[in-house]
Amino acid sequence: MTAALKLAEALRSGERRALAKAITLVESTRSEERDLAEELLAAIGAPSVRSFRVGVTGVPGAGKSTLIDALGCHALAAGSRVAVLAVDPSSRQSGGSVLGDKTRMTRLSAEPGAFIRPSPTLGVLGGTARRTPEVILLCEAAGYDLVFVETVGVGQSEEHVANMVDCVLLVQLSGAGDEVSSMKRGVLEAADMIAFNKADADRAPAANAEAASLRASLSICRGARVPPVLVLSALTDAGVEQLLAALNDYGAVARQDGSFLLRRIAQRRAWFDSALEEGLRELFTRRPDFALARAAAADSVAIGASSASSAARRLLTELLPTVRG
Amino acid sequence: MPGTPKPSTREAFLALARAELDGRDPDTLLTQTPEGIALRALYTAEDLHRIEHLAASSGQYPFRRGPRATMYTSRPWTIRQYAGFSTAEESNAFYKRGLAAGQRGLSVAFDLATHRGYDSDHPRVSGDVGKAGVAIDSVEDMKRLFDGIPLGSTSVSMTMNGAVLPILASYIVAAEEQGVPLAKLSGTIQNDILKELMVRNTYIYPPAPSMRIVADIIEYATHHMPRYNSISISGYHMQEAGATLDLELGFTLADGLEYIRAALSRGLGIDQFAPRLSFFFATGMNFFMEIAKLRAARALWAELVQECFAPTDSRSLELRTHCQTSGVSLTAQDPLNNIVRTTIEALSAVLGGTQSLHTNAYDEALALPSERSARIARNTQLILQHEAGLTQVVDPWGGSYFMEALTQELSDRARAVIAEVEAAGGMARAIEQGLPKRRIEEAAARRQARVDRGLDVIVGVNAFQAPEEPALELRVVDGHAVLDAQRERLRELKEKRDGIAVEATLSALRERARSGLGNLLSAAVAAVRVRATVGEISAALADIFGRYEGQVHTVQGVYGSYYQGHAEWAALRARVVLLREKLGRNPRILMAKLGQDGHDRGAKVVASALADLGFDVDLGPLFQTPAEVARQAVDNDVHLVGISTQAGAHTMLVPELIQELAKLGAADVRVVCGGIIPSADEPALFAAGVSLVFGPASKLPEVAAKLLALLEHSSEAT
């Protein structure tokens, strides 16, 4: 049996270390390991349709991790197995990162039925790690049926994460009034559900008012499919169970009306597209002959000898047949 | 009379200085302090112009020159040495020797299990029992601690915040059973939970119920213990965590304002309790600034309390403080130098007008103080008090151009810090938003970088190193023996007591916690009387309040910014990049704390510097067991686990961690340790499988180089 098959088998039998090692493998930047990673991904089989993937996004300090900690504990109690893929930004300067999610999910990280894996963004825009979609598949193959993808809240991440999950939960900080009204349109459009967090005792009335006004403005800009807006406190656990129920309802309705499957189909197409684009980009940096031809073509465009689109098309038709050669 | 005005002193100085410096600008003599204050070479009378109340006497508003008029001339400061060793008997013997040797008050150091509200037989604390202080599980231990020490006439300070209810209740009941009425008890309970949530981390409950406990204690003491300080509002641990002195001062006074508001919310009048608030500051090596800090603290506190609460009793405005010389300024290298450091720090506390003082022992960067080092620490104060003539005049710095100007400048800066906290909605809210933690961590990273780069000189560490390190006799704590003894006592206690009465009092305590009605301290006293233990009382409250899990954050970029364009750093960066190519990802390390030791400055500074070099650093939660850390290491698939240890638990817990890793099939994960690790512990750690051990004050680039070498070696081996 090959190493990849062994790893796939260990992973499917629920060995934590196998899942951890498998994630490292698919996240590896070494091209030699890519073949192994692909063999592994092929070996774990078809993606599960029973799983539910929830993207959790929101500005730093909104309490995303604390909320996942609380949500995850309720889900475990209800019989789910929970994986959390937390993405921490890498420093653009050093490429390093501090991954602190376990300190924010202390209850969940002590649960044997939960698996939390923080990953650095490694320079990928949009606030998710490069291989998150593949890591989701690994977690599901290891038997985790509820997968949270927590992203750093920086503008684009909401749209990015929407392309890999079944439901995007936007976490808002209660009492941040102004921020809500100036919330970016893209953020709201990507959200399938919105939770006002940190509505602890004395802040609850304000949070309820904010939620009401957001509901009103959403019904204008989103029409029929208004995302549910909830008010809760992850710290005191108030409203968390209701949020889990709302998420489950969301999943059930989406499965019934077919939108669940349609969304996953569209996502798979999008993953394919981005994998292809990534492959092309890599080809033009890794292969010296490609890099040279590309530079020459770019030069001819720069001096006005050929147009950008025709030079690109010529380059591709000339070079692509030689890829395997 | 018209005519050319006489040049000012400052102008005269500038002219003279220019001549001495061969025309160079005298402004090159400016010193930038870490607080951001630019010190000029000479201060003159002009610097006094804008200072208000300059002429006020000691004992007079705003008390810059001292809370009492006569200060040390009528009564010297109290020599109060903080100590606690393993068992109540050992500590009791130590206290008695100290009192006989001229010490005036006691100060109890508890072990970390007690701080966090666990009895010694709790499985989470096996590595911590009796290590960093005395293990107290019940009132019986407390009675042994004070056996033969009359509590009616000995003032006792207790550093307790997390398990403050059962510990204060045990002290009260121990006094009762000595026949001492509550009204005669004098001393201080630290009871300062805000700074625990901010930096020290020995909290138990979430912020809101924790603040209720603080207010309950202030309320109880106000009604029953008129001579007792119900809180010691502490900046000490902020400076230890890396805060500059403006931050230490500002955050501490902002904490004080928050506590006043909490007590007022109980319907107490400001003058009923404010005179019993006390403070606790660190004095580090920044000599002038420390003196200025204590003077500024008094004046600023008086002004703030006057402005915000307008008391009628002037004692409500008086800031009285305890000081302790700085622990982080002590070095493991050439440790006898620490005697000199401690002397200078003690001198600044005395010149600043402290009411009581603890002087550290020279070996405390290596272990708990030995008998000999503890004696020298105490003697340092006795010499200052009896030989140096320091008690002969009040506030000798009063009117000094420089000191008065510095006092004012530091006060202005602290006021800005307080304004920032108040704008965030007060300290409880500011802590929730992570504001003070972030500011302190940035300061800590800057300080570490300055030391590592040699910009701040530390004799014997980054300059003037000793040719060979002297051998010291260190105190060794036998954790297993203490653990066995405490477990046995708990068993006995539980056998003899009336279990039904215990359960009834614990239920009553829970009910008060649940309803929010009734004082928690009086309920705890009732439970202690029938022999409920520290752990049981803490657990009963946790049933209602929950145990709080603080979040660990760290700053990025601050440390690395000090090494921009530095060759050694650039070489390390290059090695990280090479390693990244080989490993297919960044080198990844889990920085973890084992046991109940909440000191996380070291772990965070290391984390932040390694991330600035290009490592991926997983920060583990505080208070972990070896099995929990092993699981995190496996789940995150790290190359290394770094254990930061300050309280002696490593001897038991690190070998356990290595076994747990092996059980999970992760024996290839390398374990390294850093912190306060006596060299005597090293052989056992290496034998257990630890790859590297770093002492305190290891330079981070050197630490990183060794970690990289370890990884480079193992990546070639595979």
Pairs of CB atoms within 8 A across A/B: 115
Q: Region B661-690: what's the mean pLDDT?
A: 92
Rounded CA separation A196/A71 (Å): 14
Task: Render pLDDT for B22-64 as a digit per residue (tens, 0 to 9).
Answer: 888 887 889 999 999 999 999 999 999 989 999 999 999 999 9
pLDDT at B287: 98
Within B542-688, strands assigned E span: 588-592, 616-619, 640-645, 670-675
**Partner-chain contact B586 A96, CB within 8 Å:** yes
Of B434, B552, B611, the CB nearest to A91: B611
Kindly report whether the global pTM for this prediction surpasses the value 0.80.
yes
Cβ-based contacts of A100 with chain B (< 8 Å):
551-554, 618-619
The better pLDDT of the pair A323, B668 is held by B668
**Which H or E run contains A193?**
strand A193-197
Instruction: Give dist(CA B710, CA B691) in Å, integer.
Output: 8
Ranked by mean pLDDT, the top range of A204-208, B106-110, B550-554 is B106-110
Residue type, A221: C
Residues of chain A neighbouring B615 (CB-CB closer than 8 A): 96
Residues B440-444 have a mean pLDDT of: 91
Helix B534-545 vs helix B520-529: angle between axes, to the nearest 10 degrees?
140
Q: What is the interface pTM, i.e. ipTM, of the complex?
A: 0.87
- pLDDT above 60 for B646: yes
Determine contact: B617 vs chain A, CB below 8 A. yes
List, for residues A73-122, the tens digit of each pLDDT value.
999 999 999 999 988 777 777 788 888 776 778 888 888 899 999 988 77
Highest mean pLDDT among A172-176, B409-413, B464-468, B680-684: B409-413
Tell me which residue in A20, A90, A98 faces B636 most closely, judged by beta carbons.
Answer: A20
Distance CA B96, CA B414 (A): 40
- Return the HEC string of B274-320: HHHEEEEEEECCCHHHHHHHHHHHHHHHHHHHHHHHCCCCHHHHCCC
pLDDT at A222: 65
pLDDT level of residue A124 (50, 70, 90 thresholds) = low
Which among A18, A137, A146 is positioned nearest to A80, based on CA atoms? A146
**Residue of B80, B604, B132 lying closest to B355 (CA atoms):** B80
Contact A94 B573 (CB under 8 A): yes
Chain A residues with beta carbon closer than 8 angstroms to that of B621: 102-103, 106, 109
Q: Is the pLDDT of residue B696 over 80?
A: no
Strand B231-234 versus strand B277-283 pairing type: parallel
B118 is catalytic: no
Angle in degrees, CA B128, B131, B136, rounded to 5: 80
Task: State the pLDDT at residue A186.
Answer: 63
Exactly one of B115, B131, B237, B322 is catalytic; which is it? B237
Work out whether strand B321-325 and strand B277-283 pair parallel, antiparallel, or are unpaired.
parallel
Q: What pLDDT digit, counting tens, does each position of B268-323 carry?
A: 999 999 999 999 999 999 999 999 999 999 999 999 999 999 999 999 999 999 99
B350 falls in which pLDDT band (50, 70, 90)? very high
Q: Which residue has the tokens 């306060």?
A: B676
- pLDDT above 90 for B662: yes
Higher pLDDT, B415 or A281: B415
Query: What H or E segment, with its residue span, contains residue B232?
Result: strand B231-234
Distance, in Å, from the CA atom of B248 to the CA atom of B284, rounded to the nearest integer, reads: 12
Marked catalytic residue, from B111, B119, B192, B597? B597
Find the mean pLDDT for residues B61-74: 96
**Contact at CB, B634 and A102, closer than 8 angstroms:** no
pLDDT surpassing 70 at residue A221: no
**Continuous segment of H or E residues that includes residue B501:** helix B499-515
**CA distance linking residue B184 with residue A183, whole number of Å:** 61
Chain A CB contacts of B560 below 8 Å: 93-94
Interface residues of A toward B, Cβ cutoff 8 Å, are 16-17, 20-21, 23-24, 27-30, 33, 61, 65-66, 90-91, 93-100, 102-104, 106-107, 109-110, 115-118, 120, 122, 235
Residue A325 has pLDDT above 50, yes or no: no
| Angle (nearest 5°) at CA A152 between B203 and A69 | 45
* Distance in angstroms (rounded) separating the CA atoms of residues B3 and B618: 72
Confidence of residue A282 (pLDDT cuts 50, 70, 90): confident
CB within 8 Å of B278: residues ≥ 6 apart: B188, B229, B231, B232, B233, B320, B321, B322, B355
d(CA B244, CA B227): 33
pLDDT at B577: 92
Q: What pLDDT shows up at residue B634?
A: 95
- pLDDT: is B192 or A291 the higher one? B192
pLDDT digits (tens, 9 = 90+) for B560-619: 888 888 899 999 999 999 999 899 899 999 999 998 888 888 888 899 899 999 999 998
Contact B350, B77 (CB under 8 A): yes
**Residue contact A120–B635, C-beta within 8 A:** no
B664 contacts in A (CB within 8 Å)?
A: 16-17
The arithmetic mean of pLDDT across residues B405-422, rounded, is: 96
H or E element in which residue B321 lies: strand B321-325
Residue A13 confidence (pLDDT): 93
Contact in structure between B189 and B231 (CB atoms under 8 Å): yes
Neighbour tally for B121: CB within 10 Å: 20
Residue-level pLDDT at B548? 85
Active site residue B599: yes
Q: Which of A85, A106, A130 to mutate to test the interface with B (most CBs of B within 10 A)?
A: A106
DSSP label of B124 = G
To which residue do tokens 């999950």 refer?
A: A165
Q: What percent of chain A has pLDDT over 90?
A: 42
Name the burial class of residue B352, with classes exposed (0-12), middle (13-18) and buried (19+) by CB atoms within 10 angstroms of its CB. Answer: buried
Q: Do A21 and B632 touch (CB under 8 A)?
A: no
Q: What is the pLDDT of residue A324?
A: 59
Give B16→chain A minimum CA distance, Å.
47
pLDDT digits (tens, 9 = 90+) for B181-194: 999 999 999 999 99
B115 is catalytic: no
- Cβ within 8 Å, pair B619-A91: no
- The single residue of B72, B82, B95, B259 carrying the catalytic annotation is B82
Task: Please indicate whether, in this complex, the C-beta atoms of A103 and B664 are within 8 angstroms of each other.
Answer: no
* One-letter-per-residue 3-state SS of chain A: CCHHHHHHHHHHCCCHHHHHHHHHHHHCCCHHHHHHHHHHHHHCCCCCCCCEEEEEECCCCCCHHHHHHHHHHHHHHCCCCEEEEEEECCCCCCCCEEECHHHHCHHHHCCCCEEEEEEECCCCCCCCCCCHHHHHHHHHHCCCCEEEEECCCCCCHHHHHHCCCCEEEEEEECCCHHHHHCCCHHHHHHCCEEEEECCCHHHHHHHHHHHHHHHHHHHHHCCCCCCCEEECECCCCECHHHHHHHHHHHHHHHHHHCHHHHHHHHHHHHHHHHHHHHHHHHHHHHCHHHHHHHHHHHHHHHCCCCCHHHHHHHHHHHHHHHCCC
Nearest CB to B610; choose among A96, A102, A107: A96
What chain B residue is nearest to A61 in terms of C-alpha separation? B433
Task: For an interface test with B, give the residue of A98, A117, A286 to mutate (most B CBs within 10 A).
Answer: A98
- Listed range (B58-72, B185-199, B323-337, B547-561) with the worst mean pLDDT: B547-561
Q: pLDDT at position B647, please?
A: 77
Six-digit token string for A200: 């602890």
The tens digit of pLDDT for each residue in B495-540 reads 999 999 999 999 999 999 999 999 999 999 999 999 999 999 999 9
